[in-house]
Structure 1
Amino acid sequence: MFSIEHDFDATVITLVDEGPAPLQEDVILQAFEEGVVIEQFDPRKDEVLRITLSQAQLRELAAALNLPEGVYRLSPRK
């Protein structure tokens, strides 16, 4: 299950892990004009882990999900 919310300066997507245990904590993606922040709570450390991706890194990640093993470079976006 997931939800999508549009805030003033970001789109927030929350991914909820469903199904048989063990389940993972929710993943929250905040998409801003300059990049994307991915957050997930780590109960072992009692803290939120955060990764920030640029728009270019996000495009490469999306492309990588549909490509076979290898090394690639996407054409610059115009």
Structure 2
Amino acid sequence: MAALLIRLHFPDCFVQVGGPSWSVRLVGRRDSTRANRALADGLPRADQDLPSLIRDFDAKGLNERDMVALSG
């Protein structure tokens, strides 16, 4: 019943309430305009275990702290 009541009141209480707004300039990426599969192959994979991730980051001159910061 609670979910039904929330759904019933959502459009009136949240969607129609105005708020501050501003325009944001969208310029896209500045480092590259096209994809490069060969460079993307060096990225960490979702199925890697921790020791292999540490080795891969170490090979690029990064330590465990860098890995955590970049993964966060």
TM-score normalised by structure 1 residue count: 0.21
Larger Rg: 2
Bigger helix share: 2
TM-score normalised by structure 2 residue count: 0.23
Q: Which has the higher contact order (CA 8 A, sep 6+)?
A: 1
Bigger strand share: 1
